[in-house]
């Protein structure tokens, strides 16, 4: 069990640029979640996948955000035309998807700063 890996750990980008984050979940986990966290707040749900199917998207996920999980393995979260309000920690988590459904393993996150 190597845990959930996220890449990069930090990203600084100029307003208007596109950014893409990657998440590698625990291999036997079929559920993958993306959350966003701003300073002083708890993580906010963005979207989740069961295998390769994206089952739910939050209203927080504007049209500029897109997430994929090809082949049900790693996932990418892309933000197009970044805005300063997108600055946050982006967290990925995975779970088995059966049994203890809410027992997630989180990655260390990608901190995005839009300047």
Partner 1 sequence: DAKTTQPTSMDCAEGRAANLPCNHSTISGNEYVYWYRQIHSQGPQYIIHGLKNNETNEMASLIITEDRKSSTLILPHATLRDTAVYYCIVSRETSGSRLTFGEGTQLTVNP
Contacts to partner 1 by CB under 8 A: 4, 33, 35, 40-45, 48, 55-56, 91, 93, 100-109
Shortest gap between Cβ of 106 and partner 1 (angstroms)? Answer: 3
Residue closer to partner 1 by CB (options 42, 70) is 42
The two three-digit tokens of residue 21, written as one number: 């984050």
Shortest gap between Cβ of 81 and partner 1 (angstroms)? Answer: 27
Residue closer to partner 1 by CB (options 40, 70) is 40
Give which of 65, 76, 72, 80 is closest to 22, Cα–Cα.
Answer: 76
Shortest gap between Cβ of 42 and partner 1 (angstroms)? Answer: 3
Shortest gap between Cβ of 48 and partner 1 (angstroms)? Answer: 6
The two three-digit tokens of residue 112, written as one number: 């995005």
Beta strand extents in the chain (DSSP E only):
5-7, 10-13, 19-24, 31-37, 44-50, 53-57, 65-68, 75-79, 88-95, 105-106, 110-114
Residue closer to partner 1 by CB (options 18, 108) is 108
| Residue 48 near residue 25, CB atoms below 8 Å | no
Residue closer to partner 1 by CB (options 39, 84) is 39
């Amino acid at each position: 069990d190597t845990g959930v890996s996220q890449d990069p750990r930090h990203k600084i980008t100029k307003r208007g640029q596109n950014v893409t984050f990657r998440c590698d979940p625990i291999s036997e986990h079929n559920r993958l979640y993306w959350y966003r966290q701003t300073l002083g707040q708890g993580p906010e749900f963005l979207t989740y996948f069961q295998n390769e199917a994206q089952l739910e998207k939050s209203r927080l996920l504007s049209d500029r955000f897109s997430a994929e999980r090809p082949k049900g393995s790693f996932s990418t979260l892309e933000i197009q035309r970044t805005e300063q309000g997108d600055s946050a920690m982006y967290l990925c988590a995975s779970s088995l998807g059966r049994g203890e459904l809410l027992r997630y393993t989180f990655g260390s996150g990608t901190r995005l700063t839009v300047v």
